[in-house]
Amino acid sequence: GESVGLHLPTLSVQEGDNSIINCAYSNSASDYFIWYKQESGKGPQFIIDIRSNMDKRQGQRVTVLLNKTVKHLSLQIAATQPGDSAVYFCAENTGGFKTIFGAGTRLFVKA
C-alpha cells in the first residue's frame, strides 16, 4: 500500500546550524511532494513543494531534494532559527485528490 514515512522522529540542532529532515515514500506513482510545518495548536503550514520532474527546488532558507531512484525526499533548512522549532511533515500526491502525510519529525532548535 501507499505510505510516507520519516526516518527520524526527532531532530535537535543548534541555532544557526543547518537542519536536514528526511522522508521515504513507497508509491512510485506519486508525482507531487510537499513539506508542511506544524506548530503547536496550529494547522499545517505549506513550506515548499516539488514535482517529480525535478530533483531540487529552493525557497527562502529551505531546499527540497527528491531522489526518485530510492524514493527519498529531504528538507534542508539553512541557518536554523528558534522559530523553526515545529513538527515537519512530508506529504505525497499522485496527481489526484488525495494527499498522504507521513508521521512527522519534531525539530528542536537549541539556542
Given the complex with other proteins, which of 77 and 90 has the nearer CB atom? 90
Distance from chain centroid for Cα 102: 9
Positions in the binding site for other proteins (CB under 8 A): 4, 31-32, 34, 36, 41-46, 49, 51, 89, 91, 93-104
The nearer residue to other proteins, 3 or 14, going by C-beta atoms, is: 3
> Quick one: 54 or 79, whose CB is closer to other proteins?
54
**DSSP structure string for 38-64:** E-TTS--EEEEEEETT-SEEE-SSEEE
Q: Report, in Å, the least distance between residue 92 CB and other proteins.
A: 9
Taking the least distance from each CB to other proteins, the nearer of 77 and 91 is: 91
Q: Are 62 and 86 in contact (CB under 8 A)?
A: no
Least Å distance, CB 58 to other proteins, is: 17
Distance CA 18, CA 84 (A): 11
| Nearest distance from C-beta of residue 101 to other proteins, angstroms | 3
Query: Closest approach of Cβ 22 to other proteins, in Å?
Result: 15
Q: What is the distance between the alpha carbons of residues 81 and 107, in angstroms, rounded to a whole number?
A: 11
Bridge-based pairing state of the strands 4-5 and 99-101? unpaired
